[in-house]
Amino acid sequence: MRATAVVSAEEVSEVDSESQVPKPRRSVRSVAAGAGTAIPTEFTTQGNKFVIRLPASLRKKILQISRRHQRSMNSEIILLLGRYLEEQRSQDVIANDQQEALESKLSRKLRALSAEKREALLALLE
């Protein structure tokens, strides 16, 4: 069974299924401010909606986490996606730095070789 969730930058109020009383939720901006984290403007633009189908088990997990943090499911999803994307960007920067360091090291080693050895190495690579 799949559940459908509407993910938008607007605050969503969850209703406790047992008491039918709305539970207060915090907006993405208030969550970010409380955590000392900046949410990029592309994640907080008002009016952008995206419908996503979630497996029931994933929706339940997100609901539990969002209630524990006193956030709306929408805010929790945006925060988690933002953190994931920032982590991916950081990993890309690290990988790029490692690639540049390797290329620099290879370049230094190549320049240190004699002309004869450089020519032999180039011949091997072709």
Q: pLDDT tens digit string along 88-111?
A: 999 999 999 999 999 999 999 988
Query: pTM here?
Result: 0.47
Given a cut of 50, the residues of the chain with pLDDT beneath it are 1-16
**Which helix (H) or strand (E) element contains residue 54?**
strand 49-55
